[in-house]
A and B are shown apart, each in its own frame.
Chain A
């Protein structure tokens, strides 16, 4: 890279910083972590001092180690930094919340400087008090378009909504075709599917379908009991190999359509298809959050801010098959708007929504118990 290029890049970075600071000057609210950088310029300077960014989450999230390096390289390039990336694959989102909580309570530094988790994780992380409250609006480069009734921040600024994907059924497109592709939640009960379909041990989809705003607890408990007799086993959302290999014809329900989108984006010939249910279209939201015991909180905040940028969202869609429907260019937004135009019920999952439904955790545990017991 020539000196001129370096100067140009740095100049671009400073221009972005200045523009975004001006853009959001009026949106900065009181609060946030004491002594936290006041704007993006200060955040970049603070991140520069930290030097290293550690990440730990499942290899199937955000492209794993390869995705992590791409992400940090893009942040370095955009903000003129030279942060070193260190990624180690970790357990599921659930266990990362538990692991970080344990480390926080023990007074140890967090294994991950940034937590990448779903609405349930954001709800739990906020409740146990392990997340930094951050004044995100002071750092964001652009104002999200938003979605009715959806806040792009987790309660108290403990997380920034960074991606969404749609709950539905993932199926083997070589083995399930035409009229056999489910359109309604009842379509999975065809006798020919008995013992050949799977669900997740953490009842993805059903826990949201069962909320009072959607189909209700009672209906979903009865549904889950019937489904438990229909399934042949349990699998995780990311284990697409169990669908492509034909071990299971379909996963009822997947955490989102990102695996199928990602395959299509990369031109893969994997026999994967995806169906959204007529009953409701649920957008499953992922949050970028910073643990209180993060060793590089400013870098983590900056990375989360980058994920919300145009470049970050484009990278997210191309590499991971998901993006955040509160931004204009979002592919998930287009799908949601199309479904809305057809009169479908749209649900934007968030910790606020889960918290408002009442008894979410208890209900989810009830469903989990049903699917784990073999009939």
Chain B
């Protein structure tokens, strides 16, 4: 039992995804001991997958590179995202509602284009910066080389900065300023207050964001695939990709992939234990109560302009540059660095005549179906899980916590392969999920649970239990209490989770690539298929369409989000 007043509905909602995760992980463990054609009578049971992983010299190289890459990416993401979150939520900086638009809009750009943009900028042979540096300063060789773990980490970090922002902005928004004001009255000064009050108060959310971003960076595929794979700089994700996409005529080595997945579960366990320790100290950070929730803003005067300068610089490097390159690439007949010749060759022909629009429309239909259903389902189950984790006293909550974090620690490729083999071999006579949108939706919900629960956990920590205890004393059921008290207080967080889930679903590629079929292809999978077959201009054309289509949706979400903030204030 989780708690005497835990609603069976909440427990059931939390248990459903746990069951799916359990089955997917069990399949993974089972497959890790198989070679041959997995899941069939042709499979052999062996320990060789584990031995093969450790014997492979590329694996050791991939682990080292992944460590450097993920540390760099996390540092860059937090160095950009955290200050922007603070300045947006805790200061009087002007026009800050636009920061949300900027930070979310950038997410529309698939990682492959951020990588491509930076390839044109800092590639040792074709990067503009390198060319200019050689021409202007007379360097004998290119000063920058983006095809290194640190270089790729910087590119990935810029993409993940928006996540760092989202994960910490809601915490700064809910933070009670009374402690900071008290510190000021006692003459602590600006930096002293930041160091001794603001940062310690924010530490649980910052740590949660760091853990979350580290794990994303470890599993990230786009940037390492585009920049690193071709230069033989392997990360764990591209190593797994190589094992599932081996050379000619070879069957995919899913057993080795599964063995890697099992090892990652162990890493997830360690990270979850660390995260649990942060959560256990959560009560001391419960600074928002039902009685005094009046956030005051810090007047930063002229520094607001400097802050905007920083945001614009970030926006240019991580959003505008790749977007310009998408626009440029969509209208050129073949890929070449921008030049007078290439501008003279620009044409609408690729967009109008080469793109398979029937396919694009099919992908669009499936993608919008997923965008409508997955965030809603994710929110419902994540709320149930978070409530039980934060409010329950039972030891069962650690199981939930681990279960909710697990999908995040597992590369999506691995979850996708588990789901694929499950649908292909075992569910075919029960539920025909193979090749369906439902299968993709289930995996998407599972992969989004970690983010949703992390965000809701942080927000629930900030809401003191006394309101719910009052409701419980008045005899109101947990479900009604959640709906009438918690949901309104959590509305900003829930909206942020909704927006984020919808956007991630909209641009999600990895899972789609593995589960794609005729009837469930998504728009990003269409883009990837063009990209990997060398039709980069067609991929850019579809990306352009995809980006333009989502802008009204983003603005709508943003408008609802701001309205909710105002209402809940």
Contacts and interface: CB of A to CB of B under 8 A. Distances in A.
Interface of A: 54, 56, 58-61, 64-66, 69, 86-92, 94-95, 97-98, 101-103, 105-108, 111, 118, 120-121, 123-124, 196, 198, 201-203, 207, 232-236, 238-242, 244-247, 259, 263, 268-271, 361, 364-365, 368, 372-374
A107 B126 contact: no
B295 to A, nearest CB: 50
B231 interface: yes
Nearest to A241: B335
Contacts of A361: 249-250
Given A87-B359, A89-B526, A247-B125, A94 B247 contact: yes
Interface of B: 37, 39-40, 42, 57-58, 61, 119, 123, 125-126, 147, 229-233, 242, 245-252, 333-337, 345, 354, 356, 358-359, 424-425, 428, 434-435, 516-518, 521, 525-526, 529-530, 532-536, 538
B517 A59 contact: no
Contact of B231 (A86, A92, A232): A232
A239 B424 contact: no
B350 to A, nearest CB: 11
B58 A373 contact: yes
A59 B533 contact: yes
B230 A198 contact: yes
Shortest 4 CB-CB contacts between residues of A and residues of B: A65-B356, A89-B529, A241-B335, A60-B533
Contact of A106 (B251, B425, B517): B425
Contact of A65 (B245, B358, B435): B358
Contacts of B334: 240-241, 244, 263, 268, 270
Nearest to B39: A106
Given A241-B534, A244-B336, A88 B521 contact: yes
A126 to B, nearest CB: 11
A233 B125 CA distance: 13
16 contacts: A58-B532, A64-B529, A88-B516, A94-B246, A98-B252, A108-B434, A198-B230, A235-B230, A240-B334, A244-B335, A244-B336, A246-B126, A268-B334, A270-B333, A368-B246, A374-B232
B425 A234 contact: no
B248 A120 contact: yes
A264 to B, nearest CB: 13
B229 A234 contact: yes
Contacts of B61: 374
B424 A106 contact: yes
Contacts of B425: 106
Contacts of B232: 233-234, 372-374
Given A196-B125, A203-B247, A233-B230, A105 B37 contact: yes
Contacts of B57: 373
A196 B534 CA distance: 19
B42 A105 contact: yes
Contact of B518 (A54, A235, A365): A54
Given A103-B424, A106-B425, A120-B248, A246 B534 contact: no
B566 to A, nearest CB: 45
A198 B147 CA distance: 15
B418 to A, nearest CB: 14
B424 A242 contact: no
Given A65-B356, A66-B356, A89-B359, A97 B518 contact: no
Given A245-B337, A364-B248, A374-B233, 8 more contacts: A89-B526, A89-B529, A94-B248, A94-B249, A203-B247, A270-B334, A361-B250, A374-B232
Nearest to B363: A88
A94 B246 CA distance: 8
Contact of B530 (A89, A98, A364): A89
A351 B250 CA distance: 15
Residue of B147, B337, B529, B538 with most partner-chain A CB within 10 A: B529
Contacts of A92: 245
A15 B246 CA distance: 47
Residue of B232, B525, B534 with most partner-chain A CB within 10 A: B534
B83 to A, nearest CB: 35
B536 A241 contact: yes
Secondary structure of the B side of the interface?
loop
Nearest to B335: A241
A95 B252 contact: yes
A65 B359 contact: yes
Given A56-B518, A232-B231, A106 B40 contact: yes
Given A108-B428, A268-B333, A233 B533 contact: no
A270 B518 CA distance: 32
A247 B119 contact: yes
Nearest to A103: B424
Residue of B40, B42, B248, B530 with most partner-chain A CB within 10 A: B248
Contacts of A89: 359, 521, 525-526, 529-530, 533
B333 A107 contact: no
Contacts of B123: 247
Residue of B39, B247, B518 with most partner-chain A CB within 10 A: B247
B131 to A, nearest CB: 10
B230 A58 contact: no
Given A86-B518, A97-B249, A245-B336, A238 B359 contact: no
B73 to A, nearest CB: 21
A106 B435 CA distance: 13
A124 to B, nearest CB: 4
A151 B402 CA distance: 59
B347 to A, nearest CB: 11
A206 B321 CA distance: 39
B535 A246 contact: no
A56 B520 CA distance: 13
A269 B349 CA distance: 14
Contacts of B125: 196, 246-247
A255 to B, nearest CB: 10
Residue of A91, A102, A201, A263 with most partner-chain B CB within 10 A: A102
Residue of B232, B345, B525 with most partner-chain A CB within 10 A: B232
A101 B125 CA distance: 42
A109 to B, nearest CB: 9
A242 B533 CA distance: 12
A291 B500 CA distance: 42
Contacts of A246: 125-126, 336-337
Nearest to A240: B534
A238 B536 CA distance: 11
Contact of B249 (A121, A238, A372): A121
B42 to A, nearest CB: 7
Given A89-B526, A106-B40, A238-B534, A64 B230 contact: no
Contacts of B126: 245-247
A124 B334 CA distance: 35
Nearest to B519: A88
Given A64-B535, A102-B424, A111 B252 contact: no
B44 to A, nearest CB: 14
A89 B524 CA distance: 12
Contacts of B534: 60, 236, 238-241, 259
B162 to A, nearest CB: 28
Contacts of A235: 230
Contacts of A201: 242, 247
Given A86-B518, A236-B532, A372-B242, A202 B335 contact: no
Contacts of B434: 106, 108
Residue of B126, B249, B335, B336 with most partner-chain A CB within 10 A: B249
